[in-house]
Amino acid sequence: MLGLEPTVLCILGMHRSGTSCLTGSLEESGVDLGDRHTWNPHNLKGNRENQAIVDLNDAVLMSNGAAWDQPRHKIQWSTEQLEEARRLATPAMGSKCFAFKDPRTLLTLDGWVQAVPELRFIGIFRHPMNVAQSLNNRSGMPVEVGLSLWYRYNRRLWRHYCRSQFPILCFDDEPELFSEKLKTALVSYGLYDGKKKGEFYDASLRTAAGDYSYRLGWRISGLLKKLKKIAE
């Protein structure tokens, strides 16, 4: 249910899809990110990730024979891992709202929901060709592999939206439109502060542009259409 201030907010989105921008914008609005990275060679303003949460997600994936680029359909959490998730997602004393982002969370989400029942969400996605090209630029990942991962991550985003109904933004929107939709999402969660300028978002950081003439196939095209409809 929107309209109530969340105490723990999870940013959902695939790698190279604007999650860092969204998380930094939330921080500008006063959301507590805890101990987070403020610099990264692939995100000049920092990926805004909490390393302990990244490490936990990696450990959960590894214990299931999976990885960020090798998703598995079913992921099992141990009792100890669930307890650690609960500890890491507990807001610090005096914090109105604690938020975290790690794209891997889309692969481990069921455990987070179990460990933190009050967890609420905001999502973001990007055109599959832009994501695939960005992954190719970063690590040489073949475009076809990047597109397959885009589908597997964003299918999870879509399915969780169908269960929970939360704001989802499109990182490909023009700057003015993106900022307006971000404001709407912040207002819906009681997190908008009109006194703050909101300078974290910078369209010049969207450096990867994929070949839009590439045939995506019906599964990817259909999912992209569904996500765009949500983000209108």
- pLDDT tens digits, 109-156: 999 999 999 999 999 999 999 999 999 999 999 999 999 999 999 999
Q: At what angle do helices 105-115 and 143-164 cross, to 10 degrees?
A: 30
Residue at 1 is within a domain? no
- The tally of domains found in the chain comes to 1
Confidence of residue 24 (pLDDT cuts 50, 70, 90): confident
**220 lies in which domain range?**
8-230
Domain containing residue 136: CATH number: 3.40.50.300
187 located within any domain? yes
Euclidean distance between CA atoms 65 and 73, whole angstroms: 11
| pLDDT classification of 25: cutoffs 50, 70, 90 | confident
Does residue 210 carry a pLDDT above 60?
A: yes
Residue 151 is assigned to a structural domain of this protein:
yes
Does some domain include residue 170? Answer: yes
How remote is the C-alpha of 95 from its chain's centroid? 21
Share of the chain above pLDDT 90, in %: 66
Residue 164 has pLDDT above 70, yes or no: yes
Interval 164-170 mean pLDDT: 96
Contact 128, 150 (CB under 8 A): yes
- Residue 210 domain flag: yes
Regarding pTM above 0.85, the answer is yes
Kindly tell me if the per-residue pLDDT of 198 is higher than 80.
Answer: no
Of 145, 231, 183, 223, nearest in space to 22 by CA = 183
Residue 2 belongs to some domain of the structure: no
